Amino acid sequence: MNAAFKTLPFVKMNGLGNDFAVVQAPAHAFDPSPAEVRAWADRENGIGFDQLIALSDDGSDEPLVRFWNADGEAVDACGNGSRCVAWLLMEAQGSGRARFHTPERTITGERAGERRVTVDMGAPRLRWDEIPLAEEMDTRGIELEVGPPGAPILHTPGCVSMGNPHVVFFVPDAETAPVASVGPMIEHHPLFPQGVNVGFCEVRAPDLIRLRVWERGAGLTKACGTGACAALVAAHRRGLCGRSATLILDGGELQITWSEADDHVLMTGPVEVEFTGTLPHG
């Protein structure tokens, strides 16, 4: 990274406890190494966050937003981070609506109350090669089991891409689901060539879902916005819920709607500003 940007100011924010350091930096000059991101993400010696977010002017009509997971890997989407960015842009512009693009898609956000934001995450991608998977399968329920042959504890999860890959296991009780033990194993399973976010989804009612997520590159997280979107889509495709539901995550609640009109997924939830600072010297 260019030394001039080692003192870039950041805003620390979170959405349901899923936390971010947001920096504003020139698109072509800010390219942190994985080691730098890992150092900043360290919760004992750095800033501490699940994702780093860079907000840049790349010469297009809307700002460019890029994301890095805590392990230093660049990723194409972050739902809760997108809500935080939308809120920052609306505050800066004095408006009730914001629009920006990621390397993967264009995202719009709207105010939904006091420090509450709705973002349009676009249409889910459902084909096996869009997730992507290593081989062709029906993504409503792929051929994947965890546990003894013939008596798996988890099986036939759904798969969805919301700009990043998700696998969703349906469980009878999310509170006792083996998130910390199974999550890292599935995250790097050879069936997922780009890795995968692992959701453990308990459908409590047609409009109520309990979800816990092992996030690719970040681990067990208090909330995963794209994971909540993916869980709603995967559950609806299996006939387990409607097109709109409240998702209860460890950090709080999100409202998710999969629009029948345009196939887009809308996510509504709170954002919080924690503190500001500057990126530490490397």
Residue 135 DSSP symbol: S
Catalytic residue list contains 201 = no
Structure tokens at 172: 């009878």
Q: Which of 78, 84, 159, 201 is catalytic?
A: 78
> Which residue among 84, 159, 201, 224 is the active-site one?
224
Measure the CA–CA gap between 181 and 188, rounded to whole angstroms.
13
Q: How far apart are CA 77 and CA 217, in angstroms?
A: 13
Residue 41 CA to residue 52 CA, distance in Å, equals 8
Helices 225-237 and 79-93 sit at what angle, rounded to 10 degrees?
120
Half-sphere exposure of residue 234: CA atoms within 13 angstroms, side-chain side: 35
Is the CB of residue 107 less than 8 Å from the CB of residue 113?
A: no
DSSP string over 70-123? TTS-EES--HHHHHHHHHHHHHHHTSSEEEEE-SS-EEEEEEEETTEEEEE---
Active site residue 159: no
In terms of phi and psi (left: phi > 0; alpha: psi -120 to 50; beta: otherwise), the region of 195 is: left
Question: Which spans in the chain are helix H?
Answer: 34-41, 79-93, 179-187, 225-237
What is the C-alpha to C-alpha distance for residues 215 and 54, in angstroms, rounded to an integer? Answer: 20
What's the one-letter identity of residue 44? E
Q: Do 231 and 90 contact (CB within 8 A), yes or no?
A: no
Active site residues: 78, 224
